[in-house]
Structure 1
Amino acid sequence: EIYGKSKKKIEPQQEHEKRVVLETIVGLLPREKNAISISFLSMLLRAAKYLDTTVVCKLDLEKRIGLQLSQAVLDDILIPSFCFDGDTMFDGDTVQQIMMNYAYPALSDMD
């Protein structure tokens, strides 16, 4: 389950296929700001973290969320940690990256 702390219960082949599909979806998203709801972007980022997609895919979603952060609710930026070590429930690095994209939008390569 994407929102849980349990270990992945997905076959490696299925995981790879889902990763490829997710990366393709993210690549096809419109580049315009506010074209996609922040809750949908957040859901995609959760899935990207869970499926361990490419760094580029995750950074793209973090940038998009950061650029729309003023529309976010807390649940949109609290991304679960999927490292399975039990230390933290949420991914602090991701929240920090989202905040950086919000605070310094000029550093983003998006329009």
Structure 2
Amino acid sequence: MLCDRVKGNKLVPYVITQACVDIMDKSCMEECPADCIYEGDRMLYIQPDECVECGRCEPVCPQISIFHHEDLPEESKHFERINAEFFTLGTEPLGSPGGARKVGQVGYDHPEVGA
């Protein structure tokens, strides 16, 4: 559903899914030129407003956890919403503009991941 892919007015272009939970290889963070991949406690999240949609994160993920939203498997569709909502959960919104390296590990996850 389109409304599940929207964060503000920005579509979630790339989505990190279940395979990242408790693994967090971080190859994607090293590859990302926009520094838009943030580290929660149990998984990584792509900030949709910072992502430049280069796609460099997707092929370097050894867990095959990152998908372009158009290629997202049906059983992982809810991670579009999880990725977008993560950036609104803290006391201050993350990103736009920002940078994951400045922030470091965030210290929480989306409730559906942290459970």
TM-score range, shorter chain: under 0.3
TM-score (norm 2): 0.25
Q: With structure 1 as the length reference, what TM-score do the two structures score?
A: 0.25
Of Structure 1 and Structure 2, which has the larger fraction of its residues in strand?
A: 2
